[in-house]
Amino acid sequence: MIWKAVVVSRYERKISEHVFATVMPLVVLSSALDKEQESVAFRLHKNVIL
């Protein structure tokens, strides 16, 4: 991920660690929500075709 390199190169270590600690749970949650939305869309699409 490009944004990680930007954070590391731009900010001091302590600030970088704080940014990662704040952002990473949101990144994981966002990824999980995307997968759930894809799953729901697939199930809806499957039900429409059947």
DSSP letter for each residue of 6-24: HHHHHS-HHHHHHHHHHHH
11 part of a folded domain: no
Q: What is the domain extent for residue 29?
A: 24-50
CA distance 46 to 37: 14
How many folded domains does the chain comprise?
Answer: 1
pTM over 0.75: no
3 part of a folded domain: no
pLDDT in tens, the chain (50 residues): 677 788 778 888 888 888 888 888 887 777 777 777 777 666 666 666 54
13 part of a folded domain: no
Q: How far is CA 11 from the centre of its chain?
A: 21
CA distance 19 to 13: 10
CA distance 22 to 49: 42
